[in-house]
């Protein structure tokens, strides 16, 4: 009854959502603050009868709002929106990567990349991280490839490349192959590579509303790239699902784009909480990698990531560990409210 290709699927496993008791959830890099009040107003004024009609398939109002939020170098024709950045990534993999040469990405990175590569039958080359867990740009430049993808900041490590380094990297890549920079976590202190789009037509930037815009539950992500790439993403989308972003999500996305000040403030709070939490953990003997994201990656000598996770879970807080060789002694901790991080720090101080 099942297709042959089905047996080859290796699905992505997201952070768990157990319901056996209330937990403080610091395992999926969600934002602890609510979306902007402008989003609440947009939901309150949403007319349910408008749900009778299909949404705008091209989400033109939303694409225009995103372009104007991003500034003068970005036009709506450079923006593509999808049902979460995971869906946008899936279309990017389909439209831009293929052939006999491998797709290159860091060995420890967002674990959906190998899943999509497997789904579309794209060969891969995973480049080990440097000994201090930063991305190895030299290593990624070696050999042939059909494209490169990495998050900046990287997940789950939090390491960050400033635009000057990304520019130097891009200038050594062939212009006929895509370099995809996934900026899911760029709003927590990093500087975007968006200005480089004017110089590098093969650069594709991916963003999400799930982290810095506080609506992982609504599913909205986007790509910014030159209009030829955006056209290719539209062709891919229209061969798969004509209406991936529903009417309510389009409306609240527009509202969120208009409240940059609110988001700048809450995300600055998260970055400050991260830095304070990291220094408390270091004072307790934890090795915490420098992070520019809304999470930290930390380990303590003699303690496996899984053991730390279990003891933290027993105390009512969910964090994440990985059974992947090379990072089994780490836990990844999303940054929540200051009081939650204080509680977690005191639990971790006792491990």
Chain contacts with ligand PLP (rule: CB under 6 A): 29, 84-86, 110, 151, 155, 182, 184, 208, 210, 216, 221
Query: Is 102 or 153 the residue whose CB approaches ligand PLP more closely?
Result: 153
Min dist. Cβ of residue 302 to ligand PLP (A)? 29
Min dist. Cβ of residue 253 to ligand PLP (A)? 12
The answer to whether 319 and 18 have CB atoms below 8 angstroms apart is no
Per-residue b/e over 68-96, b at no fewer than 16 CB within 10 Å?
Answer: ebbeeebebebbbbbbbbbbbbbbbbbbb
Query: Is 36 or 249 the residue whose CB approaches ligand PLP more closely?
Result: 249
Min dist. Cβ of residue 42 to ligand PLP (A)? 19
Min dist. Cβ of residue 221 to ligand PLP (A)? 4
Query: Is 140 or 155 the residue whose CB approaches ligand PLP more closely?
Result: 155
Helix (H, G, I), strand (E, B) or coil at 83: coil
Q: Write phi, then psi, for 109 (nearest 5 degrees).
A: -155, -165
Query: Is 223 or 345 the residue whose CB approaches ligand PLP more closely?
Result: 223
**How far is the C-alpha of 165 from the C-alpha of 170, rounded, in Å?**
9
Query: Is 67 or 81 the residue whose CB approaches ligand PLP more closely?
Result: 81
Cα atoms in the 13 Å half-sphere on the side-chain side of 350? 8
Nearest to 262 by CA among 31, 38, 30, 29: 38
Query: Is 78 or 220 the residue whose CB approaches ligand PLP more closely?
Result: 220
Min dist. Cβ of residue 52 to ligand PLP (A)? 28
**Alpha helix (H) ranges present in 216-349?**
227-238, 247-257, 260-283, 305-314, 338-349
Min dist. Cβ of residue 98 to ligand PLP (A)? 21
**How far is the C-alpha of 279 from the C-alpha of 275, rounded, in Å?**
6
């Amino acid at each position: 009854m099942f297709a042959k290709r089905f047996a080859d699927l290796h699905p992505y496993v997201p952070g768990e959502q157990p319901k056996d008791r209330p937990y403080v959830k610091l395992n999926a890099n969600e934002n602890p603050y609510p979306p902007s009040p402008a989003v609440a107003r947009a939901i309150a004024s949403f007319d349910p009868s408008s749900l009778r009609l299909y949404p705008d398939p091209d989400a033109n109002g939303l694409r225009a709002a995103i372009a104007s939020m991003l500034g003068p170098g970005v036009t709506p024709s450079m923006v593509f929106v999808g049902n979460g950045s995971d869906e946008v990534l899936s279309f990017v993999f389909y439209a831009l990567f293929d052939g006999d040469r491998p797709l290159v990405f860091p060995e420890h990175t967002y674990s959906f990349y190998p899943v999509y590569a497997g789904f579309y039958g794209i060969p891969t080359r995973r480049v080990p991280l440097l000994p201090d867990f930063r991305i190895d740009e030299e290593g990624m430049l070696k050999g042939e490839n059909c494209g490169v993808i990495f998050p900046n900041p990287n997940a789950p490590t939090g390491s960050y490349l400033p635009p000057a380094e990304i520019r130097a990297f891009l200038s050594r890549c062939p212009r006929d192959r895509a370099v995809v920079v996934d900026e899911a976590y760029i709003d927590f202190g990093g500087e975007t590579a968006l200005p480089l789009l004017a110089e590098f037509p093969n650069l594709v930037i991916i963003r999400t509303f799930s982290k810095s815009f506080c609506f992982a539950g609504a599913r909205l992500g986007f790509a910014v790239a030159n209009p030829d790439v955006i056209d290719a993403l539209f062709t891919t989308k229209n061969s798969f699902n004509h209406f991936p972003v529903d009417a309510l999500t389009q409306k609240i996305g527009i509202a969120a784009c208009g409240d940059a000040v609110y988001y700048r403030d809450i995300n600055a709070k998260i970055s400050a909480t991260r830095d304070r939490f990291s220094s408390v953990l270091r004072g307790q003997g934890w090795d915490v990698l420098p992070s520019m994201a809304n999470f930290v990656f930390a380990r303590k000598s003699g303690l496996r990531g899984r053991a730390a996770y279990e003891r933290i879970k027993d105390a009512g807080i969910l964090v994440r560990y990985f059974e992947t060789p090379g990072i089994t002694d780490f836990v990844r901790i999303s940054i929540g409210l200051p009081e939650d991080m204080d509680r977690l720090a005191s639990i971790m101080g006792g491990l």
